[in-house]
Amino acid sequence: MLHPILALFLLCGLSTVSSLDNGLALTPPMGWMHWERFRCIIDCDNYPDDCISEQLFRAMADRLAEDGYLEAGYEYLIIDDCWLATERDSEGRLQPDPDRFPNGIKALADYVHDKGLKFGIYEDYGTNTCGGYPGILGHLETDANTFAEWGVDYLKLDGCYAATEGMEEGYAEMGMYLNQTGRPIVYSCSFPAYKGLDANYTAAVEICNLWRNYGDIQDSWGSVKSIVNWFVDNQGYLSQFAGPGHWNDPDMLIIGDYGLSYDESISQMTMWTMMASPLIMSVDLRTIEPEFRDILLNKDAIRINQDPLGIPGLLAKKINNVYVWTKPILPQVGDKYSYAIGFVSFREDNPIQIEVTLDSFGLDNADGYTLNNVFDPTDPVTVSVTDPITFFIDPSGGVLLEVNPVGSKKFQ
Catalytic position from the list 81, 143, 158, 307: 158
- Which of these, 300, 328, 243, lies nearest to 277 by C-alpha position? 243
Amino acid making up residue 302: I
DSSP codes joined into one string, 337-364: EEEEEEEEE--SS--EEEEE-GGGGT--
- Distance between CA atoms of residues 222 and 229, nearest Å: 10
158 is catalytic: yes
Catalytic position from the list 43, 216, 233, 294: 216
Q: How far is CA 241 from CA 238, 337, 359, in A?
A: 6, 21, 28
Beta-bridged to residue 355, according to DSSP, are 390
Taking residue 70's Cβ as centre, other Cβ atoms within 10 Å add up to 22
Taking residue 387's Cβ as centre, other Cβ atoms within 10 Å add up to 15
DSSP element (H, E) containing 281: strand 279-281
- Distance between CA atoms of residues 126 and 158, nearest Å: 8
Taking residue 182's Cβ as centre, other Cβ atoms within 10 Å add up to 8
Q: Which residues of 298-337 are buried (b: 16+ CB within 10 A; e: fewer)?
A: bebbbbbbbbebbbbbbbbeeeeebbbbbbbbebbbeebb
- Distance between CA atoms of residues 341 and 39, nearest Å: 34
Q: Please give the DSSP secondary-structure letter assigned to residue 165.
A: T
Cis status of the peptide bond prior to 331, with omega within 30 of 0: yes
Catalytic residues: 158, 216
